[in-house]
Amino acid sequence: MSITLLPRTVFRLSGDNVKSWLDGIVTCAMPPPIRFGALLTPQGKIIADFFLIDEDEASLWLDTPSKFADDLEKRLKMFRLRAPITIERTQMKSYAIFGDQADRAPLGHDDPRHPTLGKCMIISTDAKPTASLEDYNAHRLSLGVVDSLFDFDSAKVFPADVNMDLMSGVDYQKGCFVGQEVTSRMKRMTTAKKRARGFICQSGAKVGDEITAGERVIGTVMSAQATMGMAMIRLDRWKAATESAALNGNAVAILGAPDGSE
């Protein structure tokens, strides 16, 4: 079992009807006990993704990558209008617990994105990390799980592009949320032509490198670490390819969907 400190920011949201207010703007339904979701632009692109963790009837924790924190805080306060909702940053720390026997850890919640990704834990005191951020990144890449901390920036991708709909991040049965019209229409009327997929290569890769099949580009590297990474893959081109995928002239294995559906 390994523990990694993550560069994430934890907000506490509280007040009368805070959960129903938040339910009206984010992609996921409210806890208990933990949910994975996002706030979208009106055009349906991800501003920030996060975990929502239940605290009590009138409050919850929002755990997001720190690179999104400033913009997310500003937008949440804009949506608050005159509602009696308090949005405050905390000193809570966010950790990932992963690896063998992670499910037996006495603290934390199971990460809702993948059954073997591990646990999410936010605590007010310091825990002693036993693994580096690179160790955790290698673990999640091996499972083909997209993580905005490493893979994409704000307002660049749609939820389906980065598999949020395959990782319990979008609830299509709930009421309205910001960007719902575009997100729902994409699900109802189209089959996703591109999605993020993990890959394993024979040599190193860098952001922007192209994955090819013969002379045709089928994907672009989003992030990479050692011989693993995440790429945006054109699924139609990949499935139609008659030649093996390659990256920088070497063979590359493209992983399946995180939920095993493709």
What is the pLDDT at residue 89? 98
Give the separation between CA 240 and CA 120, rounded to whole angstroms.
38
Task: Calculate Rg over the CA atoms of the chain.
Answer: 19
Write out residues in the chain with pLDDT < 70, as ranges.
none
Q: Which of 215, 201, 177 is nearest to 44 (CA)?
A: 177
Q: How far apart are CA 130 and CA 97, in angstroms?
A: 10
pLDDT at residue 131, rounded to an integer: 98
Are residues 161 and 195 in contact, defined by beta-carbon separation less than 8 angstroms?
yes
pLDDT, residue 260, reads 78
pLDDT value, residue 149? 97
Question: How would you classify the pairing of strands 109-110 and 119-123?
Answer: antiparallel
Cα separation of 22 and 183, whole Å? 18
Q: Distance between CA atoms of 262 and 248, rounded to whole angstroms?
A: 25
111-130 confidence digits (pLDDT tens): 999 999 999 999 999 999 99
| Integer Cα distance of 103 and 175 in angstroms | 32
**pLDDT of 67:** 98
Contact 238, 245 (CB under 8 A): yes
DSSP 181: H
Map out the domains of the chain with their CATH numbers: 2-187 (3.30.1360.120), 191-254 (2.40.30.110)
d(CA 203, CA 253): 12
pTM: 0.94
| Angstrom distance (rounded) from CA 227 to CA 221 | 12
Nearest 10 degrees: Cα torsion 149, 167, 142, 115? 120
